Amino acid sequence: MGTVVMYSSVSVDGFIADDNDQPGPLFDWLSGGDVPLDDSGALTVSQTSYDYVRPYWDQIAVTIAGRRVFDMTDGWDGKPPSGIDHVVVVTHRPPPEGWAPEAPFHFVDGIEAAVAKAQELAGERIVEVAAGDVGGQVLAAGLVDEVRMDVVPVVFGSGKRYFGSVDAQHLLEDPDVVIPGNRVLHLRYRVRTAAGG
């Protein structure tokens, strides 16, 4: 099975959005360089960020997101973001009225079922879990292998937490990636298994 990775851009004080679900400057680094990150030309990063982010993005097969993110993005108009093959939406509600059944979106009740479906779809490729409440639940259930953060030099003070409402301690290994980019610090941690700590 592929690696399950919790991922997002995050403020220095641990928030992925402000109290109004706005990311503020968290994605400014994605337009702060001169190397195109994708074919759209809208995302341009430093060469250092490109060398780290592009290979990672190319390995992602499935993204797991909550219904709130799905609704806020209008379901990405039925097309998974950033060239990802499938999106698994954790929800207790059915797909929206008029939703195209052929769109590569899968509506699943519960995080365990979502991870199982995502891993089935991904095969050996990466399953990405959006940070926030759903990501925090997947971490708390012991189903996350890696935590990746693009840390942006801003302090929000309050907002939507990277780890959602996680209320217990979870140990990570020492970072095995620490890469400074333009207005971003790329970090990767492996999640410590129970045997390791």
pLDDT of 162 reads 97
Res. 2 pLDDT band, cuts 50 70 90:
confident
Produce one character per residue of 1-20: b if its CB has 16 or more CB atoms within 10 Å, e if not.
ebbbbbbbbbbeebbbbbee
Tell me the average pLDDT across 77-90: 90
Domains within the chain, CATH numbers bracketed: 4-196 (3.40.430.10)
Tell me the average pLDDT across 43-52: 96
Dihedral, CA of residue 163, residue 192, residue 27 and residue 91, to nearest 10: -50
Average pLDDT along the chain: 94
The answer to whether the beta carbons of residues 6 and 147 sit under 8 Å apart is yes
Residue 193 has pLDDT above 90, yes or no: no
pLDDT of 5 reads 98
Residue 194 has pLDDT above 80, yes or no: no
Secondary structure of residue 163 in the 3-state scheme = coil
